[in-house]
Homo-oligomer: A and B are copies of this chain.
Amino acid sequence: MNEAAPIRRRSTVRMNTSDKRLNDSASQSQYQPYKDAAWGFVNHWYPALFSEELPEDKVEGIQICGIPIVLRRVDGKIYALKDQCLHRGVRLSAKPTCFNKSSITCWYHGFTFDLADGLLSTIVANPDDPLVGTTGITSYPVEEAGGMIFVFVREDDYPLDDVPPLSQDLPIRFPENNARFPHPLWPDAPSLLDEGAVALGLHRTGQSNWRIACENGFDNAHILIHKDNTIVHALNWVLPLGILPNHEEPITLTEDEDGPKGLMQWLFTDRWKPVMENPALGLKIDALNGRFYRTSVVLPGCLMVENWPEEHIVQYEWYVPITDDLYEYWEVMVRVCKTDQEKAAFKHRFDHVFMPLCLRGFNDCDLYAREAMEEFYADGTGWDNEQLAATDVSAITWRKVASRWNRGIAKPGKGVPGATKTSSIRLRRLAEGKAPGYFVEKIEDVNTY
């Protein structure tokens, strides 16, 4: 028997991580908070539901940044509380129970919370319990704008006095910023906060971390995945191979004291150069024919695509963290409609063109592309090992600005869906064909006999 171990030579090969990558360690050190934000940034405004998803007296349960949230609309006003009974942790929204307009009661043991502030105001079967009035569940400020419901997702001890206006977590508005960010080629992008703003869109759950989803939104180098989209061919667009930064400041930060924090990309100006040719691959574009648009992103991850998919319309997107591996993908188009007729026309065109060709056909490709990254990033490998190139300046800039200005890094969820990846109830739902999602699963009374 040969007892000698085989001799193994190891030669140096060049397939290691390149020291030319844009995200070298010096760069990475400037966005460590972003790398830590697997569960999202907390103490920010996030879209929770479309207004029409929460009609009068409806109760819905969702989860953002690992925090379960229950919403109820009473007399038109919306209230939001932590959706986890302080008694034994069940979700209030699983079987909505309300005995009056000012409270919500846990369906299990009757713990009752003031909608306004979350205080434990009574217990159905024990009004005089010592607990009453001494504890409660966190309440969340709510705003409604343009047909969307926003919730300020705060840490339990974040003071309500410090809650900023919704506008600080939405893209900058025009025309007030025309001078700083001129865009001569198209009309002002409408804001959700404009009078008459109408938001049409959808939201759905994506199976990836919110950050890799978000970075796809303003990624200037992913044109390849869209090259065969129906809208491109239907409108005879001719896209460049990509676009490259061509200026010392291709991106401008927005970091005003009282404004949104993020970045604006100077697309379709001379600060970015369309790439028309790749000789090595024999690729060559003769003449461009496409849409001009401009992308920006602000904390906590709100994309704005101006002048898209046509004039007077802007597309917003959010990538709302549910857990560290799920996000709610919001795709919303906003237009200011001054009359019901304008609104109907917008709705008609949205239903028949934008929904199928843009939010589905076009953005479906983005959704799948993000999910294709999930395995690489899921175990942390990706954030260290990715090798970024010049066009990734956008992602890196975003990571840095988000690291500087976020209002808090969400703690890993505790005692909530997704905190234990393999909780038995989650596995049973998988067996039933239900992937983890955004909404609470309601308990049906099955008492059919």
Which residues of A pack against B, CB within 8 Å? 1-3, 5-6, 8-21, 84, 86-91, 94-95, 97, 99-100, 103, 105, 107-112, 118-119, 121-127, 129-131, 134-138, 156-159, 161-162, 207-208, 212, 219, 221-225, 228-230, 240-244, 253, 255, 257, 275, 278-283, 323, 325-326, 356-357, 360-362, 364-365, 368-369, 371-379, 381-382, 385-391, 404-405, 407, 414-417, 419-436, 443, 445-449
By a CB distance below 8 angstroms, the chain B residues around A257 are: 2
**Contact yes or no, B135 A16, CB < 8 A:** yes
Ranked 4 nearest A-B pairs via Cβ = A125-B242, A89-B376, A381-B415, A18-B135
Q: Which of B131, B376, B388, B428 contacts A207 (CB 8 A)?
A: B428
Closest to A68 in B: B375
**Contact yes or no, A436 B449, CB < 8 A:** no
Q: Which of B6, B97, B207, B423 contacts A374 (CB 8 A)?
A: B423
**At the interface, is chain A mostly helix, strand, loop or mixed?**
loop
Q: Known interface pairs A125-B223, A356-B449. Does A424 touch B326 (Cβ–Cβ under 8 Å)? A: yes
**Contact yes or no, B157 A100, CB < 8 A:** no
Q: Known interface pairs A224-B124, A241-B110. Does A424 touch B135 (Cβ–Cβ under 8 Å)? A: no
A225 to chain B, nearest CB (A): 6
* Complex CA–CA separation, A427 to B434 (angstroms): 9
By a CB distance below 8 angstroms, the chain B residues around A433 are: 431-433
By a CB distance below 8 angstroms, the chain B residues around A279 are: 127
* Complex CA–CA separation, A323 to B10 (angstroms): 25
| Known interface pairs A107-B225, A110-B221; 9 further A-B residue pairs with C-beta atoms within 8 A, sorted by A's residue number | A14-B134, A18-B131, A87-B386, A111-B389, A112-B281, A125-B242, A125-B244, A230-B449, A365-B445
